Amino acid sequence: MSAAGREAVFPTRQSLGLMKGKLKGAQTGHDLLKRKSEALTKRFREITRRIDDAKRKMGRVMQIAAFSLAEVSYAIGGAGIGYQIQES
């Protein structure tokens, strides 16, 4: 095993305590980052769900609007609806 990824440490009690402190800090930092990642993932999923709901609602609204336009066009006999609106 190579020593490229290791720190140069003298084997003393003081060094042991120092390394234990560093390990504890690294573990705490890792746990905090993991919690943050989970919170951001949850928020992202909630936002994408809201966007999907809005898209579905917009599709229904557009379908109703297109049907209403077809009804009006049929009712006025196929003439341009813009002219009829400007007259009223």
Q: Which residues, in sequence order, are CB contacts of 84 under 8 Å at separation 6+?
A: 76
pLDDT at residue 78 tops 70? no
Rounded mean pLDDT, 36-52: 98
pLDDT at position 12 is 93
The answer to whether the beta carbons of residues 72 and 81 sit under 8 Å apart is yes
Domain boundary assignment for the chain: 13-87
pLDDT digits (tens, 9 = 90+) for 49-61: 999 999 999 999 9
Between 80 and 21, the higher pLDDT residue:
21
pLDDT at residue 7 tops 90? no
